Structure 1
Amino acid sequence: MTRMRLQAVLFDMDGTLLDTAPDFVAVVQALRAAHALPPVDEQRVRDVVSGGARAMVLAAFDVDPLSAEFEALRLEFLERYQNHCAVETRLFDGMPELLADIEQAHLIWGVVTNKPLRFAEPIMQQLGLAERCAVLICPDHVTRSKPDPEPLILACQRLGLDPASVLFVGDDLRDIESGAAAGTKTAAVTFGYIHPDDNPRHWGADVVVDHPLELRTVLDRALCGC
């Protein structure tokens, strides 16, 4: 049976489409400075970006996650990030060329992320990606975030596409689980924010790539239904 031709590529945001870690690191360091603490090793922050604000605060502060102090730090982190979410964030190397290839092939591309809309939307606008992105799905749009398939199913519904004609690209096991459960093809990237104890090659993705431009070959094969 011939495989369904690829019609769209959906990306996770942090660690897949965008290198957002520099802004996260800057916010963490500013937060520590505000509490009279020296800078933390930035790699500690990068390693846990996929875990969100909670994981980054715990990596940067010796604090009980059940305490009121932790919750105050988390809220302060989010407030600071709101004002610093699109300062140093950039597309990963090779991603501008990949997006151009996708558009030249008359494919649709979009973003499905666990990043709240209040951060994701201004970042896409600041980088000039909002008008090019066909769909942006955030936790605000669903009742269950990744690894649940609901965000991917919603994205495919909004695009009017069969999930089998969509490739979802991510840098976390939750991305691959979400895509697989929704019925999309999946690609795991190794250049994102991978915890040192994790291995994308063990996630069960349809393909694993080390650089965005390696997805060119994946797209070529999918476009011909090979």
Structure 2
Amino acid sequence: MTSFIFDLDGTLSDTIPLIKQTTSQALARFGLSACDEEIAGFIGIPLVVVGEHFLGADRKEEYMQAFFEHYHQHNKEVKAFPGLPEMLTQLQAKGAKLAIATSKRRLPAYDTLEIIGLRHFFPVVVHSECNCGFKPGPGPVERAIADLGGDPAQSWFIGDSVHDIASAKAAGISSVGVTWGVTTRDKLAEAEPDYLCDEVGELHELLLRLLPAD
């Protein structure tokens, strides 16, 4: 059976504006700043890596604490992109295996899925505390496929960043880039996903076509 593995932020959850705002607020606490493009480049990378980049290894936990304090004040406002619940309902009904591969830590990943109302679709959630490496490496994708009991030859990774596409390529599976998240269409196209989708409805139709015929 076909497996569909989804990134979370910017692919399923409309969290990119909040992440950008939170990153700016956290950096400001330490007298630092970064342009929008630089911040966007760190989205999809584990927060511990971002903290180490800006503050060094000795103070990365301080950055993470500052980030989470602001993020948790506003994350209840986060929504799923329109059309996704209907898409996932149909994919699930047709027997597709569904999983998440995210750079979020365990609790924020599960919290986000609960807040946006999609938790029940995903029996497998691979997060940054799974000890399987980080995107753009293959570990999270390989772990998701293994936990689903899936076949790499029938597995697809769907994400909004070049890290997602690179992770799929590293794991030897096919990928779909979606352009409603953090990455521009041109930049995502340069990563060479197998497909590019500009709207949820387009993704919905594509994934149905990728399923075996009834």
- TM bin (shorter chain): 0.7 to 0.9
Among 128, 139, 143, the alignment partner of 1:139 is 128
Equivalences for 1:149-188 in 2 at 5 Å?
149-188=138-177
Q: Which amino acid aligns with 1:8?
A: S
2:43 to 39, 49, 52: 49
**Count of aligned positions:** 213
| Residues 32-66 of structure 1: CA deviation (Å, up to 9, x unaligned) | 89789xxx998986675345658988xxxxxx935
* Alpha-carbon separation, structure 2, partners of 1:11 and 1:161: 14
Separation in 2, partners of 1:199, 1:18: 21
Gaps of 5+ in 1: 1-5, 58-63
Any idea what the Cα deviations from partners look like across 1:175-194, whole Å, max 9, x if unmatched? 11111222222001111111
Q: Secondary structure at the match of 1:9?
A: strand
Q: Does the 8 Å contact 1:94/1:211 carry over to 2? A: no
Computing the radius of gyration from Cα coordinates, the structure with the larger value is 1
Aligned pairs for 1:76-225 within 5 A: 76-81=65-70, 83-84=72-73, 86-194=75-183, 199-224=187-212
Q: Secondary structure at the match of 2:207?
A: helix
**Stretches of structure 2 lacking an aligned partner (at least 5 in a row):** none
Asked if the contact 1:49–1:55 (Cα under 8 Å) also holds between the matched residues in 2, the reply is: no
Letter in structure 2 aligned against 1:199: K
| Deviations 1:1-25, CA, capped at 9 Å, x for gaps | xxxxx52211001111111134335
CA spacing shift, 1:159–1:55, aligned 2, 3 Å: closer
Identify if the C-alpha distance between structure 1 residues 224 and 162 changes in structure 2 by more than 3 Å, giving closer, same or farther. Answer: closer
Mapped partners of 2:57, 2:97: distance in 1? 44
Alignment partner for residue 9 of structure 1, among 1, 4, 14? 4
User: How far does residue 26 in structure 1 lie from its aligned partner after superposition?
Assistant: 5.4
Call closer, same or farther: CA 1:66–1:23 in 2, change over 3 Å.
closer
Q: By how many angstroms is 1:28 displaced?
A: 5.0
Task: For residue 207 of structure 1, report the CA deviation from its aligned partner.
Answer: 0.5
Q: Match for 2:18 among 23, 30, 36?
A: 23
Normalized against structure 1, the TM-score is what? 0.76
Q: Is the 8 A contact 2:103 2:128 kept in 1?
A: yes
In the alignment, the residues of structure 1 paired with residue 75 and residue 54 of structure 2 have an alpha-carbon distance, to the nearest angstrom, of 27
1:116-149 deviation per Cα after TM superposition (whole angstroms, max 9, x unaligned): 1121112222333222212100111124111111
Distance verdict in 2 for CA 1:8–1:74, change over 3 Å: same
Question: Which amino acid is 1:12 matched to?
Answer: D
Once the two structures are aligned, what percentage of the paired residues are identical?
A: 26
* Aligned-residue RMSD, C-alpha: 3.4
Distance in 2, matches of 1:151 and 1:109, equals 14
Q: Which runs of 4+ in 1 moved over 3 A?
A: 25-36, 40-57, 66-73
Instruction: Compute the TM-score of the two structures, normalised by the length of structure 2.
Output: 0.79
Indicate the structure with greater helix content.
Answer: 2
